[in-house]
Amino acid sequence: MTKLYLLSKTIHRLFLYLISYMIIFMSVTGVILKYSFFSDRAYIDLGLIRYLHNEFSIYFAVSLGIMMLTGFAMYLFPLMRRKPSSKPLTTTPQTIN
């Protein structure tokens, strides 16, 4: 069980770095597509930018999904390791002096 946790932690961290770079790329291409005056001044092909943005969105969604699944596995790991206590929880009344 611990190996699964460590594997999911490693995968989660790798996809964290991947998604960080993809966020930067997707935001830059999205801003270029939204504000077309960038393409007028820099001679950028909007068709190519739109194509790249659309193609990377699939990889972005898959990466985010994998990151969510590994994060959920890491969230469940401590909950699954807890053992039920053998002693019943009892409260003792406190006296006020």
Determine the Cα–Cα distance for residues 42 and 31; give it in Å rounded to an integer.
Answer: 14
Determine the Cα–Cα distance for residues 17 and 10; give it in Å rounded to an integer.
Answer: 11
- Tens of pLDDT along the chain (97 residues) come to 788 888 999 999 999 999 999 999 999 999 988 987 777 777 888 889 999 999 999 999 999 999 999 999 888 888 887 766 556 656 666 667 6
If phi > 0 it is left, if psi is from -120 to 50 it is alpha, else beta; for residue 95 that is: beta
Q: Which residue in this structure is represented by tokens 């969230």?
A: 75
Model-wide pTM > 0.85: no
Determine the Cα–Cα distance for residues 59 and 19; give it in Å rounded to an integer.
Answer: 9
